[in-house]
């Protein structure tokens, strides 16, 4: 993220295409300035919909719920592309009581329904995203929405810790 500073004090300019992994470019700049809020966790979500769900659809759903646009900072499509959503400088609208100090990524799909489960490309893109996140926020936790205190949800429908420990998930 251009001009962002994480727990390591490191400054870097990262573009969405750097996050897309093997699936290809994701587009332009993700954020245009430094974060003015501390980040203590990355919250991983699923869209609870088919893997073909678009950023525009989720934006519309969130607006229909009274949010000021999409509540997630990024979306991983079925092909593994990472798309920017809400600007990182703005708190998300994705997990009540946990938005101010977190970054949210949503993976299109629904891991509670086998026909809508995440693709291999999505899982790999998520691993790449988590690696990127840890560069800027090395002391922050990486959790599924369901792992947050007070969350009454199964989202993202998988154990994030187990997913990130799968062989090959950490590049080993």
Q: How far apart, in whole angstroms, are the C-alpha atoms of residue 131 and residue 133?
A: 5
Question: For residues 159 and 165, is the Cβ–Cβ distance under 8 A?
Answer: no
List domains and CATH numbers for the chain: 4-165 (3.40.80.10)
Total residues belonging to the chain: 172
pLDDT at 34: 61
Q: How far apart, in whole angstroms, are the C-alpha atoms of residue 113 and residue 4?
A: 37
Quick: pLDDT tens for 8-64.
333 333 333 334 333 322 333 344 446 778 899 999 999 999 999 999 999 999 999
For the cut 80, the answer to whether the pLDDT of residue 167 exceeds it is no
pLDDT at 36: 79
């Amino acid at each position: 993220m251009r001009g962002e500073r994480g727990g390591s004090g490191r400054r870097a300019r990262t573009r969405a295409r750097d996050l897309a992994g093997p699936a290809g470019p994701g587009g332009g700049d993700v954020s245009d300035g430094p974060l003015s809020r501390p980040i203590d966790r990355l919250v991983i979500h699923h869209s609870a919909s088919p893997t073909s769900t678009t950023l525009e659809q989720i934006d519309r759903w969130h607006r229909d719920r009274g949010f000021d646009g999409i509540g997630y900072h990024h979306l991983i499509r079925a092909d593994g592309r990472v798309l920017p959503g809400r600007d990182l400088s703005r708190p998300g609208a994705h997990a009540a009581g946990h938005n101010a100090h977190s970054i949210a990524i949503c993976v299109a799909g629904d891991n509670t329904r086998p026909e809508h489960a995440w693709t291999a490309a999505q899982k790999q893109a998520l691993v790449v995203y988590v690696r990127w996140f840890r560069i800027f926020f090395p002391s922050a936790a990486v959790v599924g929405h369901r792992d947050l205190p007070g969350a009454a949800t199964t989202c993202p429908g998988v154990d994030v810790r187990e997913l990130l420990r799968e062989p090959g998930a950490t590049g080993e």
